[in-house]
Amino acid sequence: MTFNEQDVERIVVEVIRRLGLLGPATAAPANRNELTLAERVVTMRLLEGKLEGVARLVVPARAVVTPAVRDELNDRQIELIRKA
C-alpha cells in the first residue's frame, strides 16, 4: 500500500485529533511578514490561505509540524521559528 502526501496529512491529523492535541485555530499577526500560531500541531489544513506574503512562521517550541508543511515552507522559502 502506498500513501501520498494528502493521505499522510489526513492520518496525522486524525491521530493528533484522537490524542486530543488539536487546539483552536489561532493566528496572531506579530508583523506583516510573520505568522504566529499557538497550535500544538501544524498541518496544511491549518495553514490553508494563511501563507501569502509570509516570510516567517512562528510555532510553539514543541509543536508537531507535519512533513507536508515543512515541504511547503521550503518551497515558499518561509522560515520556521520555534518559540517557547
Which residues share a beta bridge with 29?
Answer: 35
- Convert the pLDDT of each residue in 28-56 to its tens digit: 445 668 999 999 999 999 999 999 999 99
Query: What pTM did the predictor assign?
Result: 0.66
- Convert the pLDDT of each residue in 16-28 to its tens digit: 777 766 555 444 4
Q: Round to whole Å and give the CA distance between 68 and 72.
A: 6
Q: Please choose, from the candidates 43, 31, 36, 79, the residue with its C-alpha nearest in 3D space to the C-alpha of residue 59.
A: 36
2, 42, 82 from 36: Cα distances, Å: 34, 11, 10
